[in-house]
Structure formats: structure tokens, C-alpha cells
């Protein structure tokens, strides 16, 4: 097997104890050093406080790893040249012996292959605002349409075309439910301005939906649990609207396109909100990790 599952995670899976997958892109590419390692350790500890085992996922020296020890986390957080890997990059990274941090799509795929059912992240990728011209859509959506995993997230990044993303998820047959809300979260914002059709109100209800997925024998698609960042910790909506409009204008003026668009816009938001967008991002991730731990516990106890 190319996949390496840590002893702790493997034993938890075999014993049907709760496990939560965590992506590593936020460690390697989403936060400055040394704060990134501190946050990585904090998120793992938050999973443990909910009674679950954390399984941070990355590729090191061509070997996909589900569950990292402290030295491996430090390596992802501090080593130069750590690549950013989507699921399409995995065979190339394995064949070439590369090291990389996994995005949502790669993390979801490797977690599912290891037998981990619950995954916590910040916000999903989605359909970009200039889709009609560039047809730019995150690989997250297609991967989630064919991977049986429950993803706890704060919706999709607000720099994207949110209604188009929701429509695309519907077309792909990916189940979406708000957690304690009938509104779809907007990553930095508690409410993107768009509704969701289904609401789940407890970890037990989420676990019941997961069991129903299996019982129906339906296609191997994901369940998205959209968990809003608390209003008290969200980015000020007015500030968000102004800075995002400026960021989109700057992006167009500078001719930024393709994969460079998302990091450009996110960096603009961090710099022009004096870090408030990053704080909202971390608040969302922390809440998602805690909820994922409770869902994993409810699933394991089913």
C-alpha cells in the first residue's frame, strides 16, 4: 500500500473509535510561521478534547500519510518547498517522491481511502465568479461528488460565486445541510445571503444522515455540513463587502487569472482588513473542528 496510516489512527479505525481528518494546506500555505504550527497543534488538541483522534493528512517524500506525529507536523509547517497538492497531483507526488500539503480534495480522498468518514476544514472551493469566461471551478466539487465522506465546513469561500456553487453541488448530487441554520454560511460571514434546503441540529442527526446514505446504497457522494462562524466572530459584513469589491477590481486590473486568483484575493482580504479576515477564518476552522469531533463520536457510537 502506498498509503501510510499512523498507528494511532489505524487502531482507532479498527476499533471503530471516532477519527477526524484534517487538511495540511492551512499549515503549510494558509498561515505565517511560527503561528501555523501552533494552530496545527491546537486543532489536533481540539479534536482530542471531543474524544476523537486527529488525522492530519499530508504527503511526505512521496508517501501519503494519514495521521502525522509532531516531527512531521513541524516539517509541514517549517520546510521550504512543501507543495500544495490537490487530488490530481497525488500520483505525480508519489511517483516523484515529492512532499506536499493536501487541499480539501486530496485530504478527502486520502481520508476516505483510509476509512476515515469525518473531515473538518475551513471553507470549500467552488465556482469562480468569472466562470462564464474562464470556466474555473474547484476540483473539490467533482471529488466530493464521488467520495463518501462528511465534510464540516463554513460554506465556501466568499470570494467565489456562492449561488453558482450551490447549484453545481445540486447538479453533482452532493448533499448539503446547514448546521443549526437554514442559511448557507459565507466562510468569513455567518450568512452568505443564500438559503439551504435542509437543517441538521445535532451531531446525532448528522450521524443519522450518514447512516441513511449507506443504507440507501446511493452513489458514493459526500455530505456537506455547513457550520456558520459565530456572528460575534465573523468579519464585519460591511468591511467584507468593501474590501472584497476592491480585491476583485485589483485582480482584474493586474490580470491575475487561474490558480493565482484565490490566493491573491485571500491575501488582499488579510492585508486590507488588518488581519480580521484571518481571525474569522481561524474562528470558523476551530468551530468546525470541534463539531467534527462530536459528529465523529456520534458516528462511532451508532
Catalytic residue among 137, 157, 205, 253: 157
Reported as a single tens digit per residue, the pLDDT across 202-222 is: 999 999 999 999 999 888 999
Lookup result for grid cell 503561528: 35
DSSP state of 258: G
248 versus 42: the higher-pLDDT residue is: 42
Exposure class string for 213-247: b at 16+ Cβ within 10 A, else e: beeeeeeebbbbbbbbbeeeebbeeebbeebbeeb
Q: Mapping DSSP to helix (H, G, I), strand (E, B) and coil, where does residue 153 land?
A: strand
Confidence (pTM): 0.94
User: In sequence order, what are the beta bridge partners of 20?
Assistant: 54, 118
CATH pick for 1-116 out of 1.10.10.350, 3.30.70.260, 3.40.1790.10, 3.40.50.300: 3.40.1790.10
Residue 194 near residue 184, CB atoms below 8 Å:
yes
Tally of CA atoms within 13 A in the half-sphere of 154 that contains its CB: 29
Cell numbers that stand for 137 in this block: 471551478
Reported as a single tens digit per residue, the pLDDT across 136-156 is: 678 899 999 999 999 999 999
Cell numbers that stand for 124 in this block: 470549500
Percent of the chain residues past pLDDT 70, beyond the cut: 96
Judged against a pLDDT cut of 70, whether residue 133 lies above it is answered with no
Residue 205 a catalytic site member: no
Mean pLDDT of 44-65: 98
Assigned superfamily of 124-302: Indigoidine synthase domain (3.40.1790.10)
The number of residues in the chain equals: 302
E strands, 8-112, are: 19-22, 53-60, 63-66, 83-85, 100-102
Residue 90 near residue 84, CB atoms below 8 Å:
no
Reported as a single tens digit per residue, the pLDDT across 5-26 is: 999 999 999 999 999 999 999 9
Give 159's pLDDT tier (boundaries 50, 70, 90): confident
Among 194, 103, 192, CA closest to 151: 103
Average pLDDT along the chain: 93
Instruction: In the chain, list all ranges with CATH 3.40.1790.10.
Output: 1-116, 124-302
User: What pLDDT, on a 0 to 100 scale, did the predictor assign at position 137?
Assistant: 78
Reported as a single tens digit per residue, the pLDDT across 245-286 is: 998 889 888 988 766 777 788 889 889 999 999 999 999 999
Catalytic residue among 7, 11, 23, 220: 23
Reported as a single tens digit per residue, the pLDDT across 73-109 is: 999 999 999 999 999 999 999 999 999 999 999 999 9
DSSP state of 278: H
Residue 23 a catalytic site member: yes
Amino acid at each position: 500500500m502506498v498509503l501510510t496510516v499512523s498507528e494511532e489512527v489505524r487502531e482507532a479505525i479498527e476499533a471503530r473509535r471516532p477519527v477526524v481528518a484534517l487538511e495540511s494546506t492551512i499549515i503549510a500555505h494558509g498561515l505565517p510561521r511560527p503561528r501555523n504550527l501552533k494552530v496545527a497543534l491546537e486543532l489536533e488538541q481540539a479534536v482530542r478534547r471531543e474524544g476523537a483522534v486527529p488525522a492530519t493528512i499530508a504527503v511526505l517524500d512521496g508517501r501519503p500519510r494519514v495521521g502525522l506525529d509532531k516531527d512531521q507536523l513541524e516539517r509541514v509547517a517549517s520546510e521550504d518547498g512543501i507543495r500544495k497538492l490537490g487530488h490530481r497531483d497525488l500520483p505525480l507526488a508519489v511517483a516523484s517522491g515529492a512532499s506536499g500539503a493536501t487541499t480539501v480534495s486530496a485530504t478527502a480522498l486520502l481520508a476516505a481511502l483510509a476509512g476515515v468518514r469525518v473531515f473538518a476544514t475551513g471553507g470549500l472551493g467552488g465556482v469562480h465568479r468569472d466562470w462564464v469566461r474562464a470556466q474555473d471551478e474547484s476540483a473539490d466539487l467533482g471529488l466530493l461528488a464521488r467520495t463518501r465522506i462528511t465534510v464540516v465546513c463554513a460554506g465556501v469561500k466568499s470570494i467565489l460565486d456562492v449561488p453558482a456553487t450551490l447549484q453545481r453541488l445540486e447538479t453533482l448530487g452532493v448533499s448539503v445541510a446547514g448546521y443549526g441554520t437554514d442559511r448557507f454560511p459565507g466562510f468569513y460571514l455567518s450568512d452568505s445571503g443564500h438559503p439551504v434546503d435542509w437543517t441538521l441540529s445535532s451531531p446525532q442527526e448528522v450521524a443519522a444522515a450518514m447512516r441513511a446514505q449507506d443504507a440507501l446504497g446511493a452513489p458514493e457522494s459526500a455530505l456537506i455540513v455547513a457550520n456558520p462562524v459565530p456572528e460575534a466572530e465573523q468579519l464585519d459584513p460591511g468591511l467584507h463587502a468593501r474590501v472584497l469589491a476592491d480585491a476583485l477590481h485589483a485582480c482584474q486590473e493586474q490580470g491575475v487569472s487561474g490558480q493565482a486568483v484565490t490566493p491573491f484575493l485571500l491575501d488582499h482580504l488579510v492585508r486590507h482588513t488588518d488581519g480580521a479576515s484571518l481571525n474569522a477564518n481561524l474562528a470558523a476552522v476551530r468551530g468546525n473542528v470541534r463539531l467534527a469531533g462530536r459528529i465523529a463520536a456520534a458516528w462511532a457510537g451508532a
